[in-house]
Amino acid sequence: MSHFAKVEDGVVVSVIVADQEFVDALDGTWIQTSYNTHGNVHLGQDGEPDGGTALRKNYAGIGFTYNSTADAFHAPSPFPSWNLNSTTFEWEPPVEQPDNPEGGFYLWNEDETNWILTRYGD
């Protein structure tokens, strides 16, 4: 069994697990996707790269875009200022996230297009 994404007007509207024969009998456009593919890397059961073949850059999710020219799935943009990486088809901020300090974490601030340090308990 494999995972398949139903794509309408370039947007994923459904993802199912089925045999190819079942999908072939369905109406619409169904494109195979791999649960183990993230950022154009195939991951093993342990979540680490295993050298397998990545399929369509990312595992499809409802609301994802299917780029037929690149044969790639990607998530919706989390923020208008972020850029889509043309190799991984993952969104990247215009400013690299700093290392997380002890007792805190960073959140993206779109108004300032920068990372804001937040401390636990704030």
Residue 121 — very low, low, confident or very high, per pLDDT cuts 50/70/90? low
Q: What is the pLDDT of residues 32-71, one digit of tens each?
A: 999 999 999 999 999 999 999 999 999 999 999 999 999 9
Strands 114-119 and 83-84, how do they pair? unpaired
